[in-house]
């Protein structure tokens, strides 16, 4: 049973765009591509469509260089390249949230090249705990909702929206449970399998994903607790979606106990609150969730957050998986590194790109880091 769930997750993660094409053919429904975890997917779901997260492609860039500078994040660059090579022609629309400068500018370059595709940018606040942020975002969501309704020729009812919110919360709760089980028994599921669960959640209809995930959770609960000696690590970073990289942890004798990743916990932590009108509830959720470094928050300090995560998971080190050319993460890095050092938490920064790259270099550095942690453990 768990093998079936894991296999499905792995298949969808490996070929996300094929899954979307199949779904479209089977159901006759619409598929919208979205960028980044700040997009209020619930609205798309409530309109009956399949929202799929675009995370670039693992191929070298050819045509996009004529339209975007090479020193931007490869998620943006490879996505634009893939779009220009017609890999996304099955999409009925592409939507963007405001998060970082690169996504912001990609949005305008994109619509310039694909004027026939439905397009919109939901301009979320950058300052997520600004006094008027909720009022502003609720109204901005209403604007998008109206535009979508006009485009589809049908209204999205409050009931449909509430139902979608519940479905999304159910998936989030299941992912929280998965992470909790992993913290207790990290050897029971590999880092790559967890990554595949997330990658497929970004692309499947939520209710379908939740059903499979619950099966996986039941089996994890029944799994024997391993008294393994794997070195426990926490991951931090932006979009790491290379199973080849996550495979390296097991290979080098480490287990991942938790993460603060855009392709990890940031996607699902924090449920939509129960009170208020649907759009207010959705606005509240996207403002209160663990912020991406591209957001400004007066109350959230990522240094404290990561140290707590390390302590809670009884972790021995932090491995940072950061897509190159990411300003928000790069600006945060030195002060985070400094705090981890002050707290005696070893850390390693690994820069990645979407395009195929030599995994050997990453492997060597990770192995050396894990070896160092093993030695430290022995000498305690």
Partner 1 sequence: MSERRSPRIQAVGTMKEMMAAYYIESKNAADNNQKVAWITSGGPVELLIAMDVIPIYPENHAAMCGVMHMGVELCEIAEQMGYSRDLCSYARTDIGSAVSGKGPLMGLPKPDFLVCCNNICGSVTKWYEVLARLFDVPLIFIDTPFIHDELTDNALSYVKGQMTHAIKQMELTTDQRAGESSGRPDDRRTPRLPGQRAPLAPVPESERGDVGLEQ
Cβ at position 140, least distance to partner 1 in Å:
6
Cβ at position 327, least distance to partner 1 in Å:
5
Contact 133, 287 (CB under 8 A): yes
Query: By CB neighbour count within 10 A (0-12 exposed, 13-18 middle, 19+ buried), where does 237 fall?
Result: buried
Cβ at position 101, least distance to partner 1 in Å:
4
User: According to the binding rule CB under 8 A, does residue 367 interact with partner 1?
Assistant: no
Interatomic CA distance for residues 290 and 267, integer angstroms: 9
Longest dimension (CA), the chain: 67
Which residue in the set 132, 153, 225, 378 belongs to the binding site for partner 1 (CB under 8 A)? 132
User: According to the binding rule CB under 8 A, does residue 123 interact with partner 1?
Assistant: yes
Cβ at position 349, least distance to partner 1 in Å:
8
Cβ at position 162, least distance to partner 1 in Å:
23
Structure tokens at 354: 């979407």
Phi, psi of 117 (to 5 degrees): -85, 145
Which residue in the set 121, 175, 217, 248 belongs to the binding site for partner 1 (CB under 8 A)? 121
User: According to the binding rule CB under 8 A, does residue 127 interact with partner 1?
Assistant: yes
**Which parts of 143-162 interact with partner 1 (CB under 8 A)?**
143
User: According to the binding rule CB under 8 A, does residue 40 interact with partner 1?
Assistant: no
Cβ at position 300, least distance to partner 1 in Å:
11
Which residue in the set 32, 39, 325, 369 belongs to the binding site for partner 1 (CB under 8 A)? 325
Which residue in the set 87, 136, 305, 365 belongs to the binding site for partner 1 (CB under 8 A)? 136
Cβ at position 130, least distance to partner 1 in Å:
6
Mapping DSSP to helix (H, G, I), strand (E, B) and coil, where does residue 19 land?
helix
Structure tokens at 335: 């002060």
Which residue in the set 33, 125, 230, 264 belongs to the binding site for partner 1 (CB under 8 A)? 125
**Which parts of 332-351 interact with partner 1 (CB under 8 A)?**
332-335, 337-338
Binding mask 270-309 for partner 1 (x = CB under 8 A): -----------------------xx-x-x-----------
Which residue in the set 68, 286, 328, 373 belongs to the binding site for partner 1 (CB under 8 A)? 328
Interatomic CA distance for residues 60 and 313, integer angstroms: 37
Interatomic CA distance for residues 214 and 209, integer angstroms: 9
Which residue in the set 3, 26, 28, 71 belongs to the binding site for partner 1 (CB under 8 A)? 71
Interatomic CA distance for residues 167 and 173, integer angstroms: 10
Of the chain, the end-to-end C-alpha distance in Å amounts to 41
Cβ at position 222, least distance to partner 1 in Å:
44
- DSSP assignment of 288-348 equals HSPPPTTSB-SS--HHHHHHHHHHHTT-SEEEEEEETT-HHHHHHHHHHHHHHHHTT--EE
Count CB-CB contacts under 10 A for residue 66.
7
Choice between 311 and 338, CB closer to partner 1: 338
Contacts of 290 (CB under 8 A, 6+ apart): 260, 265, 266, 269, 270, 300, 305
Number of residues that bind partner 1 (CB under 8 A): 37
Cβ at position 150, least distance to partner 1 in Å:
15
Contacts of 99 (CB under 8 A, 6+ apart): 35, 36, 38, 124, 292, 294, 295
**Which parts of 72-111 interact with partner 1 (CB under 8 A)?**
98, 100-101, 104, 107-108
How is residue 369 annotated by DSSP?
H
Choice between 211 and 330, CB closer to partner 1: 330
Binding residues for partner 1, per CB under 8 A? 71, 98, 100-101, 104, 107-108, 121, 123, 125-127, 130-133, 135-136, 139-140, 143, 293-294, 296, 298, 324-325, 327-328, 330-335, 337-338
């Amino acid at each position: 049973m768990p093998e079936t769930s894991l296999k499905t997750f792995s298949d969808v993660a490996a070929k996300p765009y094929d899954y979307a094409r199949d779904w479209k053919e089977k159901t006759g429904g619409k598929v919208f591509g979205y960028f980044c975890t700040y997009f209020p997917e619930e609205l798309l779901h409530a309109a009956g469509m399949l929202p799929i997260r675009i995370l670039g492609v693992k191929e070298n860039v050819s045509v996009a260089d004529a339209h975007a500078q090479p020193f931007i994040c490869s998620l943006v660059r490879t996505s634009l390249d893939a779009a220009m090579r017609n890999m996304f022609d099955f999409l009925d629309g592409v939507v963007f949230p405001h998060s970082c400068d690169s996504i912001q500018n990609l949005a305008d370059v994109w619509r310039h090249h694909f004027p026939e595709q439905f397009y919109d940018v939901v301009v979320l606040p950058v300052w997520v705990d600004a006094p008027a942020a909720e009022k502003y975002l609720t109204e901005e969501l209403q604007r998008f909702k109206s535009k979508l309704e006009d485009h589809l020729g049908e209204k999205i009812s409050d009931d449909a929206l509430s139902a979608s919110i519940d479905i999304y919360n159910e998936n989030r709760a299941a992912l929280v449970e998965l992470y909790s089980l992993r913290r207790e028994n990290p050897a029971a599921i590999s880092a790559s399998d967890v990554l595949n669960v997330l990658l497929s959640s970004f692309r499947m209809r939520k209710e379908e994903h939740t059903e499979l995930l619950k099966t996986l959770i039941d089996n994890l609960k029944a799994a024997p607790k391993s008294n393994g000696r794997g070195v426990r690590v926490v991951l931090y970073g932006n979009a790491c979606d290379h199973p080849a990289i996550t495979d390296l942890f097991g290979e080098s004798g480490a287990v991942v106990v938790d993460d603060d990743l855009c392709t990890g916990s940031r996607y699902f932590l924090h449920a939509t609150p129960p009170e208020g009108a649907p759009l207010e509830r959705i606005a509240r959720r996207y403002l209160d969730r663990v912020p991406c470094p591209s957001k400004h928050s007066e109350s959230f300090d990522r240094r404290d957050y990561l140290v707590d995560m390390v302590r809670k998971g009884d972790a021995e080190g932090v491995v940072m998986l950061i897509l190159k050319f990411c300003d928000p993460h790069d600006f945060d890095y030195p002060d985070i590194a400094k705090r981890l050092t002050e707290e005696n938490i070893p850390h390693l920064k690994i820069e990645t790109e979407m395009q195929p790259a030599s995994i050997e270099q990453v492997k060597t550095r990770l192995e050396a880091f894990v070896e160092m942690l093993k030695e430290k453990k022995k000498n305690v």
